Structure 1
Amino acid sequence: MKHLLLNFRLLLTGFFLLALYQPILGQTPERRTSVGLLVSGLQYKGDFGSDFWKTDNIKIAPGLAINQYLFRGLDLNSQIFYGELTGRRNANNYFATTLININLGFKLKLNNGWALKENAFFQPYLLASSGWTYTSQAVRRDSITRLDINKGYVDLFTAAGINFRLGGGVSLFVQSGQHLPLNANLDGTAELVTPRWADRFLQHTVGLTFNMGQALDMDEDGVADRLDKCPGTPQGVAVNESGCPLDGDLDGVPDYLDACATEAGSAESRGCPDKDNDGVTDQEDSCPDAAGPPELRGCPDADSDGITDAEDKCPDTTAGTTVDFTGCPIPNDSTAAPAATPAPNTPDSDGDGVLNAQDRCPNSAGPASNGGCPEIVSAVRQKLREATKSIRFELNKAVLLPSSYPTLDAMVPVLAEYPDYSLSIAGHTDSKGPAAFNLALSRERAAAARRYLLEKGVAENRIDMRGYGARHPIASNTTEAGRARNRRVEFDLFVSSGPNSAQAKYGVEPTAASLKAAAVKKAPAKKKLQKAPARKPAASKTKAAPKSKSTKAPVRRKVQSW
């Protein structure tokens, strides 16, 4: 026994020196080392029976481990432990074997970048090792005979385990495996030839490992600084093998900064597409195919008078001319006398320089370029655009989710700030499902948002709601991400005395009747294989009377039109 303890101390000293030396090696970028403390439970199987997977005779064994990263998917692993195995047949026939085991092998990791990411929290592995088991046995065969045997055996060890990455260079692991000391007689049973696998034992282990040699990784993204092409990535951002944030649409804007992560765009437009390159993203651009300034929601204004070409009744106005809300010059603008009290027949109630006859908001001052109405500040327009992304409903229902309430609550003060404006609410859906259902759902959802605002005290005549179904997508309906963007409720302000903004953008609201009419109109085009007259000749061998032909044709046409 003394000899065994001396050997164990020597092995342990060497193991500790190796553990202290390995971190020095691990300071280089090429080596990543961890040292672990472990506690094992040993279970014997041999001539005295089997304790495998039983709990009444587990022997506790402390130990140490060193793990060295070789490359992705494979580590070099070494373990040492000190324990005891016992067995008893009766009071005069028992054994107690103290053992030291040290082994070295390879750990095959499933967090290899293919099955799981290298920095995954959950890291399964397989272990195959070979080593040496040194034993000191105290055996009693009868009331008189007692044997003390010290012997060593070549040991084979296989195990499976799971490593849990706790962060900060610390991991917890659990492992279970079987030791096969070759031709070992662990219980001291007298036998002429010891079978190759006669005595063996299980080792169930739990331990903590401390990473002492991992390459420097300042942004903690799992990619060493020497390999990291994008150092300084914010924590929690998914990265690729080069340490750069993922960019699914390959537009150069990382997914975590990309407002349209599934559609290629530019950095200037936050990763969203902008077909006309006017700086207004397609989803916010009222005229996505024609360039225009942001203040006009991306619509062109050829004469730069502040009125979009689509609304400008005088598109060739000279630069610098003051115009009304239709884009036409205000009479006598350049030759008008200095500001004076308007004549009784040309009042200007709000004193904004736009006569009441041309003023769309006669009681609120505003520039002539906006028809005498106050201009909506960019912050409010941005709030309206953001509201579109925040309104959510129950699946396939027109029931507002509570998360939508704060967004709708914020609309109430906006309407109070602009008393001459009304709110347009336009509902849209994706293309899945029947067109009639989608149209009804889009309108009902717009109506649900309207009801909520009415309950908050907004006047009925200041909210206009419409439903457009799936007619006006802002993204592709072929992907789930695109369909999610198309399921929306849009908000916009428009002058109460002017045209509705949704109608100006999308046209007249469709109805169920118009959908049916469109379907009927398309039917003949699709079913132009209405070749009844061409098929009939084969059947009309007896040359049926022309009258019978003419009576059947209308019936067939009528059926096919539905």
Structure 2
Amino acid sequence: MKMNILSRKILVFSFVLFSSLAIIGQDKDNPWVIGFGVNAVDFYPTNIKGMTSENGVPTDWYDQFFNLTDHYNYISAPTKLSVGRYLSESFSIELAGSINKISKVGNLKLAESVSYMAIDLNTNYNTNKLFKLNSWLDPYLIGGVGFNAKGNNVKNELQFKNYASFNSGIGTKVWFNKKFGAKIQTVYKHFFNDGSFPHFQHSASLIYKFGGYDEDNDGIYDKDDKCPEVFGLKEFNGCPDSDEDGIMDLDDKCPTIYGVANLNGCPDSDGDGVSDMEDNCPTYPGSKELNGCPDSDGDGIIDMRDACPTSAGPANNNGCPELDTDGDGVIDKQDNCKFEAGPASNNGCPEIKEALEAKLTELSNSVLFKSGSDMYYSKFESKINEIADLMKKHNNLKFQIRGHTDSVGPEEANLKLSLARVNKILGVLVSKGVNQLNLNVKGFGESMPLDTNDTAEGREKNRRVEIKILN
């Protein structure tokens, strides 16, 4: 008779639970989890006032927490049904119902076992996000409320009261695949009256995840489907790729024409990185700066408008190069010496000063004087003639004739000797037609030797003149 009453309670409870599921299951955007398993109730480790061990010692929190044989109340059959809903990555809620039989309250064994039924509404906090564990392991913390109903029997020393509980605990889910898993949890139920007796309720369940809605029937739930009303592909989170170019239509600027990713799905027939819709020369590779048109000579004028597409030239000359007859890099219209190469800094005319001075230095250094005399050897007369010819040819330049001696003799006498030598050369050059106004002289004596004065050969080289260009 008692079992019939218990069976009716289970039937009523199951109806209420599945009715709740049917009502709330209409929310198509959230996943649900249903669980079916067993539970055990343990009063012993909850520090109930007056409870003692077999030796008469008061019990303490968590005493013999895993002593299933002596303290756990359970039925060897499925006794718990639950349904849960995920609210976010961190939170979910669960409505659970469980039945049991109570025959032991700590060390006290009841004369007759009584029924136990609980309905709990708990919030679970998923700690996986904090600890970053594997996706198949889902530990969580529990907090919530419940209502516990326990039967009574006059033969029993204890009589129970039905009362609401405050729940807290821990648990974990272990997922075998995307749908199926298992969970175990321990919940402490606390009451604020003396007749309900706080206790732990342990449970283990098989769980199944379900829910969601797929309006476009593409196999992707709407909550995960970026395009829930259009049939799409899994790799694009439910969005279509109409032209099958690997770019979903949402991101494809040309969704009906096969294109390339770096151009947002638009085609590029010539492969120049400019889409056909923006390319003024879609069949000829070009540059982005010139709207996809080529510029073979790199002069900034596209080939189709360049009169000389393979030779760089300015726009005002239709892309053709300007003439440079002497090839010195200065175009003829800017070249003052278009038949003679010269740098742009000299308007295309050659700069002669460096070369001329080098030649004059070479010639003058080779004119050597007799020791202690301003007389040079006659064999160097041809060198003097060459110097005169160069000075007359460049009569627009000013020259300085510098005299030097070896170190033989007093320094003051050597300075006078160096001046005598340059004046000697000055007079010879003037006699050969060099403009005297283009010449000046300076003596340095023995202060600037060209070679060592320790040898006859070195001293001979030091008895010399040098010519420098002043302008």
- TM-score > 0.5, shorter chain as reference: no
Name the larger-Rg structure: 2
TM-score norm. by structure 2 comes to: 0.41
